[in-house]
Copies of this chain bind each other. A is one copy, B any other.
Amino acid sequence: MASAVALDAKSIVLDAPLPLDSGQELPGVRLAYESYGELNADKSNAILVFHALTGDQYVASSHPITGKPGWWDRMVGPGKPIDTARYHVICANVVGGCMGSTGPASAGPDGAPYAMRFPVITIRDMVRAQVALLDALGIGRLHAVVGGSMGGMQALSFAANFPGRADRVLAIATTARHSAQNIAFHEVGRQAVMADPEWQGGDYYGKGKGPEKGLSVARMAAHITYLSEEGLTEKFGRRLQDREAKSFGFDADFQVESYLRYQGIAFTDRFDANAYLYITRAMDYLDLAEEHGGRLADAFARSDARFCLVSFDTDWLYPTAESRHVVHALNAVAAPVSFVELSAPYGHDSFLLNVPALDRVVKGFIE
């Protein structure tokens, strides 16, 4: 499924094995990426956008499976806040993903899919792979790195681990470490996938439909965390779906049930279940402070970038306190940082949705 896409997409294969935080190495890593806008002569106008858990490289171009517009089409393009008439924008599928970059569905050295033989990766491993991509493209220092949610984690990890490689770091709706509640929700999703007998210990490639039901349940649970209680109430409330009265049965009586079921099923068409396991695990492992001796400020001590942190008041997945925690660490090392909590009704998903105030913040910071 996913590997077929890589053939049509831009991709490179890294020359050297990718060293991983686990101590292992991953040979022959392919990174699939998209780019938009012209790279200028001195290669100083490049912006690297990092995608979120279930995102991909199609930040501003239509998705090859769903046909939907790019996931940040509203933010990236000519004349848009990240203006591709001025900047060269790169977005790569993360290692461990399923849209063309090397992941658990890819063939291992023996030709068979890695499945659960794929090494457990971290956010820093994802970033390391993308720095190798920049090296391959001859881009030394970026105009900016930008990301929301897991993309923001990568932006912060990039700043901490590759100082001097970006002028600006924009991290939206994110955190420098996964909380117990974050881990708990991911663990529910993983258990839902692994409870599905079609998962077959991860060896489902070419053997049946895969753990679609389990992955669908995982997506449903995750989706609730992306939305605010207020947003759900406004969007659905207790309204019934295509009926006048309750059915006194187990059909999707309520619109919110129907919506969630659809979100769950649609997700399985475009995402590999093992990739979901690996990427959620990478997020759970994130603790930037722990990586840098236990003190978050030390993670940013060598950075020379300007930072901008954005949170949303209704985001309960990575609430404002998590951004503030990062801001305090940046303050402690006198790093230039601006921080804003925006008001938006959509919860965590606000970073992907119509929030004009975010457009203005992004545009102002990038320019």
Footprint of B on A, CB under 8 Å? 21-24, 116, 119-120, 177-181, 183-185, 187-188, 190-192, 194-197, 213-214, 216-217, 220-221, 224, 227, 229, 232-233, 235-238, 246, 248-250, 252, 254, 256-257, 260-261, 264, 277, 281, 284-285, 287, 290, 316
5 sample A-B contacts, Cβ–Cβ < 8 Å, listed by A number: A180-B229, A180-B254, A180-B256, A187-B220, A229-B316
11 further A-B pairs in the complex, CB-CB below 8 A; given A185-B221, A187-B256, A194-B250: A23-B248, A119-B248, A120-B250, A179-B232, A180-B236, A181-B224, A184-B257, A187-B260, A191-B264, A195-B196, A221-B221
Flag if A188 contacts B238 (CB, 8 Å).
Answer: no
* A179: B residues at CB distance < 8 A: 229, 232-233, 238
A209 to chain B, nearest CB (A): 13
* A196: B residues at CB distance < 8 A: 195
Flag if A188 contacts B224 (CB, 8 Å).
Answer: yes
Flag if B180 contacts A285 (CB, 8 Å).
Answer: no
Contact of A217 among B21, B180, B217 (CB under 8 A): B217
Contact of A177 among B185, B232, B238 (CB under 8 A): B238
A227 to B188, CA, bound (A): 15
A235 to B214, CA, bound (A): 28
The residue in chain B whose Cβ has the minimal distance to the Cβ of A259 is: B184
Flag if A217 contacts B195 (CB, 8 Å).
Answer: yes
Flag if A192 contacts B180 (CB, 8 Å).
Answer: no
* A252: B residues at CB distance < 8 A: 187
Flag if A195 contacts B221 (CB, 8 Å).
Answer: no
Tell which of A224, A235, A238 has the most Cβ of chain B within 10 Å: A238
Flag if B197 contacts A197 (CB, 8 Å).
Answer: yes
Flag if A184 contacts B232 (CB, 8 Å).
Answer: yes
Known A-B contacts A191-B261, A217-B191; A233 and B181 likewise in contact (beta carbons under 8 Å): yes
Flag if B178 contacts A191 (CB, 8 Å).
Answer: no
Flag if B119 contacts A235 (CB, 8 Å).
Answer: no
Flag if B181 contacts A195 (CB, 8 Å).
Answer: no
A179 to B237, CA, bound (A): 7
Flag if A229 contacts B183 (CB, 8 Å).
Answer: no
Known A-B contacts A187-B256, A195-B213; A181 and B229 likewise in contact (beta carbons under 8 Å): yes
Flag if A248 contacts B120 (CB, 8 Å).
Answer: yes
* A23: B residues at CB distance < 8 A: 248
A203 to B298, CA, bound (A): 58
Contact of A216 among B184, B191, B287, B290 (CB under 8 A): B191
A129 to B55, CA, bound (A): 50
A290 to B253, CA, bound (A): 15
Flag if A232 contacts B181 (CB, 8 Å).
Answer: yes
A50 to chain B, nearest CB (A): 22
Flag if B183 contacts A256 (CB, 8 Å).
Answer: yes
The residue in chain B whose Cβ has the minimal distance to the Cβ of A120 is: B248
Flag if B260 contacts A184 (CB, 8 Å).
Answer: yes
Known A-B contacts A181-B224, A195-B214, A229-B179; A190 and B250 likewise in contact (beta carbons under 8 Å): yes
* A195: B residues at CB distance < 8 A: 192, 196, 213-214, 216-217
Flag if A248 contacts B188 (CB, 8 Å).
Answer: no
Known A-B contacts A188-B221, A191-B264, A224-B188; A120 and B257 likewise in contact (beta carbons under 8 Å): no
A232 to B186, CA, bound (A): 14
A248 to B187, CA, bound (A): 15
The residue in chain B whose Cβ has the minimal distance to the Cβ of A277 is: B250
